[in-house]
Structure 1
Amino acid sequence: MGKIEKLQTELDIAKEPKEIVKVAVTLGEELFFKGRLKESYQVSKLVFENIDKINDDKENYQVKGIAYSNIGFLRSASGDIQNATEYLNKAKYYLETVQSQYLADAYMRLGSLKWNIGNYDEGLQLTREGLMLAEKHNMVRTIGFSAYLLGGFFIDLKDYEQAEKYYNRAYKAFDEAQENNGKGRIINGLANVFYLKEEYDLALENAQKALDMHLLEENQSSISRDYNDLGKIYKAKKEYKKAFDFYGKALHIRLENDLYTAAVTTLSEIGSLHLELENTKEAIFFLEKAIKEAEKLNAKAKLFRVHLLMSDAYKTENNYEKAFFHLEQYNEIKELALGDENSSRIKNLETQFEAEKAQQESEIYRLRNVELREAYAIIEEKNKDITASINYAQRIQNAFSSRDYFKELFPKSFVIYIPRDIVSGDFMWVTKIEGKKILVVGDCTGHGVPGAIMTVLGRTLLKNIVEERKIIEPSKILYTLDNNIREALHQETSNTNDGMDATILVIDEENKKLEFSGAKLPLVFTRNGKTERIKGSSSAIGGKTYKKEKQFQTHTLDFQKNDRFFLFSDGYQDQFGGSDNRKFMSRNLIQKIDESSKLSCYDQYPILKDAFFDWKGENKQTDDVILVTVEL
């Protein structure tokens, strides 16, 4: 039984969503790399249908990240750039959060997508990062595909020496993995290098060799690439009948298998061939189809070249108005994609990548200066130590989180917790004392390691104040916490002004009473389809004392069955994003809560979480995020 048949059998008996997703991802990718594209897309539907059924716990982040990477990759291959970008960014978030080695695939796929839409410097950087991570974890297939993509990128940049360098690296990886389809792709890539050097006989020899390998493997995607490139080579050799024949075969396969991005290439090649033969009307027909598809896919890397061909076509017809229009389009899009500034950034990136690679052992020995080698080695070791320490700190911080106890106290609940830098300055703390449940959400000064240290201090002090000293009135907890933090950090005599914002709920379920006090943070709650907000104090916890005395007020309300309460830091509402790159704002968060308030906690959770990531887009995360929801 072959690998694909074995995976199909495993998928047929899989029952749980997580098991279905894991097997379907592996099977879908095997089918894709074997060229069985439509079967691969069918299997990917199972991934899409089951991924949201997997609990969004950190232990599932790797599975979900790999699955989103798979969906995004297949959407990208079929030309659905918008959804592909969304899913690959989700994959990047999940896999970065758990520092998964499979982040290498997400980087590579996102890099390829960015390159195809004309974001060359970003595409190069992501793909290069994917290659470095794959090499670190000896992910042979990913090394092969990342290096193969980089070879293609440098062909586009007319840097054939770099292209050959990456193709050779890719071939070595595919040979080690016994991946004949991959080896065929590399031979095809080298054929393109020879073609661009105008060494057409060598180009033809390699392209035919690649085609023979892919025909044996029955890989339709790769076969279509070989046909297209054979057409291009025969065109250069002035053997036009053969060129049309191979282009026709390539276009048929690409349209038949929904490979629309690749189809744009073939359409433009056929248009160019007609133009060379002075079949102007036919040239315009194919080039218009290429422009239409490229615009639909936002494929700037292909689009500007087609506009140049269209300009030449209309020039031969003496239609100078349209010729000038397409020439303007060519210059405008080319400047966006490959302008001087962008080209400079790409060159700088490659220099930077070489320096980064020098930190790895194999590259260190290539450096001529011994002292510089030692410096790079020290930096690499320190970075490993620091990252390992922070990751360990994350484990300690998670152990403090009381997540299991929180679920025990509040079965109908959820937590959205998104650290900005591995460890977080936002925290949650819960306890039960004298028959009352106490829930605290805190937002400490800073993020990363400094913020995480403050969370440890905050939790430790809360445990002492509430569980040992039996102070359970919310405003008194805040007053005591404020004094204790200022004493612990010696803020009357030191220069530190650190502290935190906080929300405290004390819930008396027996008497249906709830008490709230907030230090700069509000309480939002929904009741019978209506959303209300109670503001917290304008004073924060900790920091130097001023003439004006801090005021913390306790608010008391009766709660009803199905009332839902929301406690959150300011990280969600302060996130920059959207079309205007502005803050999300608290009113929009409250509106989003209100719009989804009639859903169950289970269904409201993804609405609020996805809204954050949709708003954030590709922007850097502004601050740590925590949003805690309980239904009473």
Structure 2
Amino acid sequence: MKLLLYTALFLPLLVAAQPNLPKKKADSLWAVWSNPQQPDTNRLKAIHDYAWNGYLFTKPDSAFYYTQLEYDFAKTKGLKKQMARALNTQGVSFYSRGDYANAIVYYTKSLKIKEEIGDKRGIAASLGNIGNIYINQRDDANAITYYTKSLKIQEEIRDRKGIANVLNNLGLIYDNQGHHSQAIDYFTKSLKIFEETGYKQGKALSLNNIGNVYRSQGDSATDAGNSKLSADKYAKAIDYHTQSLKIREEIEDKQGIAISLNNIGNIYTKQDKFHLAFDYNNRALNMAQELGAILQTKDAAYMLWKINKRLGKHKESLEMYELYIETRDSILSEENQKEVMRQEFQYNYGKKAAADSVANAKANEIRDAHIAQQTAEIKAKRNQQYALYGGLFLVLVFAGFIYNRFKITQKQKGIIEEKEKETSLQKHTIEEKHKEITDSIHYAKRIQDAMLTSEDYITEHFNAECFILFKPKDIVAGDFYWAAFQHNKFYIATADCTGHGVPGAFMSLLNISFLNENVIERGIQSPALILNEQRKEIIKALNPKGNENSKDGMDCVLCAFDITNLKLEFSAANNPVWIIRSKELIEFKPDKMPVGKYEEGAKDFSTHTFDLQKGDTIYTFTDGYADQFGGEKGKKFKYSKLKELLLSINQESLKVQKQMMEETFMAWKGDLEQVDDVLVIGVKI
């Protein structure tokens, strides 16, 4: 994790907490704030220092609350500089928790006030803060633009601390892009300024970032097979991170401590020193969760997932993997990214509108002055020769022409503004329709989830170990699973309906309804007969008049387990059944036709019977897992690789098998889009 410094730190919840200041200093600041006899600026400076130095680095929730007191008081007194300062600190509190949507709102409000009052130092800080958000959203181009604007102002006003901050952030961008020598150059310049100014937090940050560069170089050496160079770079990285950690512990910068602990644990993991790595990353996780720092929680959870997996702690590994996914998705949420773009557009538009307003006012002043001058000249020369009236007439004609053009321009501007309003209204309408559609799809998902057999029902009625790996491509799915205990047998269906998304979901609900009717209400016991009846119902429902050539239906494996007598009956439409016994895979081919209308004519489905043994594992699945594109060459996973995977993990518990299959799928898919719904069911006798 590479921390982006500017004035960016933590998030609020109103809680009772003790400030991270010596009691005497804290009491003194609070006394100044609480004394109405003190000048307003003194009181505001006291509450700001109380929040910033007392809470922002350890209890950001309370810092936000006290900063709100600062803002409210400054607003009643009309002190805009202090209002902007309070808004900036509140933006900082959201930034540190990955809540970029709220962070950009507060940063933009602060920036507008600073521009109104000409606060160059504050403008530079706000530009840097907005750059921080872009770099965390992987938008290096916009980040560099904002950092460069900030650096230019910092150099104009000779703010050395601010210059060092921006240099640090530019170094981070170059490091992310792999330009290590340029990154080291920026970090070293920044470190020198922080040392000269005695700013410990900045010094710790620069040391941390230099350590990250050496770690990256160690990674490159490892990939190239140069173990000696790798060990040297990792040793330097740990040295710099340890120096940074020591300073952060001195100043009680808890978020910085969590970052340093994560970085050191990361390097020990790369060196296969897993017990040492676990100690550092576990400490980082505890501190990050205490602070509510989502970025550091994500990094610590990711490392602990890898470490526990290597140490054979599968349960703990799964817990950390789930925490990592949850925090990662929160940070990169669509809501955050949309809000950043919206606020930037709103800010730029407001800025342009203000500039147009000033320009119009200036033009009006010039025009009024010009008319007044003409009037004075006419009055003074009223008695001059008549020849001058000809010139005056020409002037009036020209003025009329200018006025006419001005009115036309005003009319055109009104038309443009009206068009902009229409465009804005259309955009709002589209967004509302999109929201309505999305809400409807989410409601459809709730209905589909309710129709799927619950895991509690399966656990209660099925006397065998079982796992279900279900990953829809979209919000709702065309794949589905169904189960029921009837006739002293436990039925399980693994099905893939035509299509995916909303159309597939409707087909799945239709098929679930027909399965309930055929098995539970009509009491049909044979899997083959059930699929035969299922096919009739589907064709009838989708083509009631018999005059349409609809090929909608499903591929399905329907199993009937008799656990008491160790018997398995099943029928398979287009998808096979795999059984692993004593490390050997037995494959049962399916009937090559769907449960639906078929061009070659409807034949009865076949019934297979198999005598089970203790330790047998039965796998049924749809085609989504094998058809997923990925890997280094972007090819399909394929059924041959799926067989190899199941044989390699078969000795594990089904819970661990499910985790390993999900991890393998995600690693294979990488950044590519999921191509289809994924459903795999495993049953161990």
> Once the two structures are superposed, what CA deviation does each residue of 1:516-541 show, in whole Å capped at 9, x if it has no partner?
11100111122222222211111011
- Contact 1:167 / 1:189 at 8 angstroms: preserved in 2? no
Alignment CA distance shift 1:259-1:604 (3 Å): farther
Q: Aligned pair 1:625/2:673, yes or no?
A: no
- Contact 2:528 / 2:571 at 8 angstroms: preserved in 1? yes
The residue number in structure 2 matching 1:177 is: none
> Once the two structures are superposed, what CA deviation does each residue of 1:563-595 show, in whole Å capped at 9, x if it has no partner?
221111100111000001011001111111111
Q: Aligned pair 1:193/2:156, yes or no?
A: no
The residue number in structure 2 matching 1:513 is: 567
- Contact 2:124 / 2:154 at 8 angstroms: preserved in 1? no
Q: Aligned pair 1:556/2:621, yes or no?
A: no
Separation in structure 1 between the aligned mates of residue 636 and residue 56 of structure 2, nearest angstrom: 42
> Once the two structures are superposed, what CA deviation does each residue of 1:53-74 show, in whole Å capped at 9, x if it has no partner?
xxxxxxxxxxxxxxxxxxxxxx
Alignment CA distance shift 1:408-1:353 (3 Å): closer
Return the offset for 1:355.
Answer: 12
The letter of the residue matching 1:511 is N
Return the offset for 1:205.
Answer: 6.5
Provide structure 2 residue ranges, at least 5 long, that are not aligned to the other structure.
1-15, 21-54, 60-93, 111-122, 134-143, 168-183, 218-231, 238-336, 354-416
Q: Aligned pair 1:571/2:522, yes or no?
A: no
The letter of the residue matching 1:260 is G
- Contact 1:203 / 1:233 at 8 angstroms: preserved in 2? no
Separation in structure 2 between the aligned mates of residue 359 and residue 467 of structure 1, nearest angstrom: 58
- Contact 1:193 / 1:203 at 8 angstroms: preserved in 2? no
Alignment of 1:54-453 (within 5 A): 131=100, 134=101, 140-141=102-103, 167=128, 193-196=149-152, 199-204=155-160, 206-207=162-163, 232=189, 253=204, 257=208, 260-261=211-212, 357=342, 369-403=420-454, 404-410=456-462, 412-453=465-506
> 1:602 aligns to what SS in structure 2?
helix
> 1:536 aligns to what SS in structure 2?
coil
Return the offset for 1:600.
Answer: 1.1
Residue in structure 2 matching 1:538, options 587, 592, 596:
592
The residue number in structure 2 matching 1:461 is: 514
> Once the two structures are superposed, what CA deviation does each residue of 1:40-86 show, in whole Å capped at 9, x if it has no partner?
xxxxxxxxxxxxxxxxxxxxxxxxxxxxxxxxxxxxxxxxxxxxxxx
Alignment CA distance shift 1:169-1:603 (3 Å): closer
- Contact 1:440 / 1:503 at 8 angstroms: preserved in 2? yes
Number of residues of Structure 1 aligned to a counterpart in Structure 2 = 384
Alignment of 1:470-481 (within 5 A): 470-481=523-534
The residue number in structure 1 matching 2:654 is: 601
- Contact 2:473 / 2:677 at 8 angstroms: preserved in 1? yes
Separation in structure 2 between the aligned mates of residue 550 and residue 364 of structure 1, nearest angstrom: 67
TM-score, scaled relative to structure 1: 0.51
TM-score, scaled relative to structure 2: 0.48
Separation in structure 1 between the aligned mates of residue 187 and residue 467 of structure 2, nearest angstrom: 57
Alignment CA distance shift 1:496-1:247 (3 Å): farther
The residue number in structure 2 matching 1:329 is: none
Alignment CA distance shift 1:510-1:146 (3 Å): farther
The residue number in structure 2 matching 1:490 is: 543
The residue number in structure 2 matching 1:584 is: 637
Separation in structure 1 between the aligned mates of residue 644 and residue 338 of structure 2, nearest angstrom: 44
- Contact 2:131 / 2:147 at 8 angstroms: preserved in 1? no
> Once the two structures are superposed, what CA deviation does each residue of 1:315-366 show, in whole Å capped at 9, x if it has no partner?
xxxxxxxxxxxxxxxxxxxxxxxxxxxxxxxxxxxxx979973999999999
Q: Aligned pair 1:616/2:601, yes or no?
A: no
Return the offset for 1:146.
Answer: 12
Separation in structure 1 between the aligned mates of residue 197 and residue 213 of structure 2, nearest angstrom: 14
> 1:517 aligns to what SS in structure 2?
strand
- Contact 1:393 / 1:423 at 8 angstroms: preserved in 2? yes
- Contact 1:204 / 1:230 at 8 angstroms: preserved in 2? no
Q: Aligned pair 1:523/2:570, yes or no?
A: no
> 2:492 aligns to what SS in structure 1?
strand
Between structure 1 and structure 2, the one with the greater Rg is 2
The letter of the residue matching 1:388 is D
Return the offset for 1:417.
Answer: 0.7
> 2:651 aligns to what SS in structure 1?
coil
The letter of the residue matching 1:390 is I
Separation in structure 1 between the aligned mates of residue 194 and residue 125 of structure 2, nearest angstrom: 25
Identity over the aligned pairs, expressed in percent?
30
Separation in structure 1 between the aligned mates of residue 209 and residue 481 of structure 2, nearest angstrom: 48
Separation in structure 2 between the aligned mates of residue 258 and residue 166 of structure 1, nearest angstrom: 21
Return the offset for 1:259.
Answer: 5.5
- Contact 2:471 / 2:678 at 8 angstroms: preserved in 1? yes
Separation in structure 2 between the aligned mates of residue 616 and residue 147 of structure 1, nearest angstrom: 41
The letter of the residue matching 2:639 is S
> 1:505 aligns to what SS in structure 2?
strand
Alignment CA distance shift 1:34-1:143 (3 Å): farther
> 2:428 aligns to what SS in structure 1?
helix
- Contact 1:465 / 1:481 at 8 angstroms: preserved in 2? yes
Alignment CA distance shift 1:379-1:522 (3 Å): same
Separation in structure 2 between the aligned mates of residue 207 and residue 605 of structure 1, nearest angstrom: 51
Separation in structure 1 between the aligned mates of residue 542 and residue 672 of structure 2, nearest angstrom: 34
> 2:448 aligns to what SS in structure 1?
helix
- Contact 1:596 / 1:604 at 8 angstroms: preserved in 2? yes
The residue number in structure 1 matching 2:557 is: 503
Separation in structure 2 between the aligned mates of residue 585 and residue 364 of structure 1, nearest angstrom: 52
> 2:558 aligns to what SS in structure 1?
strand
Alignment CA distance shift 1:399-1:201 (3 Å): same
Q: CA RMSD in A?
A: 5.1
